[in-house]
Amino acid sequence: MKKKKAKKNNKNKSAPPQDSKKSRVLSTAALAASLAVLVAVVAAISYTQLADRREKSNVYYGKATFERPACVVYQKLLEATPEYQELTKLLGEKQIDRGDPKATSLMSSADDKVRRAISQFAKENGYDYVCELSYWEKKAHRGTAAGDVTDQIADLIRQAAKQT
Tally the domains of the chain: 2
- The pLDDT tens digits for 13-57 are 555 556 677 677 777 766 666 665 554 444 334 333 333 343 458
- Residue 136 sits in a domain whose CATH number is 3.30.910.20
pLDDT single digits (tens) 87-138? 999 999 988 888 889 999 999 999 999 999 999 999 999 999 999 998 888 8
Residues 88 and 155 in one domain: yes
Q: Are residues 66 and 125 both part of a single domain?
A: yes
- Listed residues 32, 53, 74: the one ending a domain: 53
What residues make up the domain containing 77? 61-163
pTM exceeds 0.85: no
Helical spans, DSSP H, in the chain:
2-14, 18-57, 74-79, 82-92, 101-125, 133-139, 150-163
Q: Mark whether 91 and 129 lie in a shared domain.
A: yes
Whether residue 47 is found in the same domain as residue 72:
no
Shared-domain flag, residues 31 and 73? no
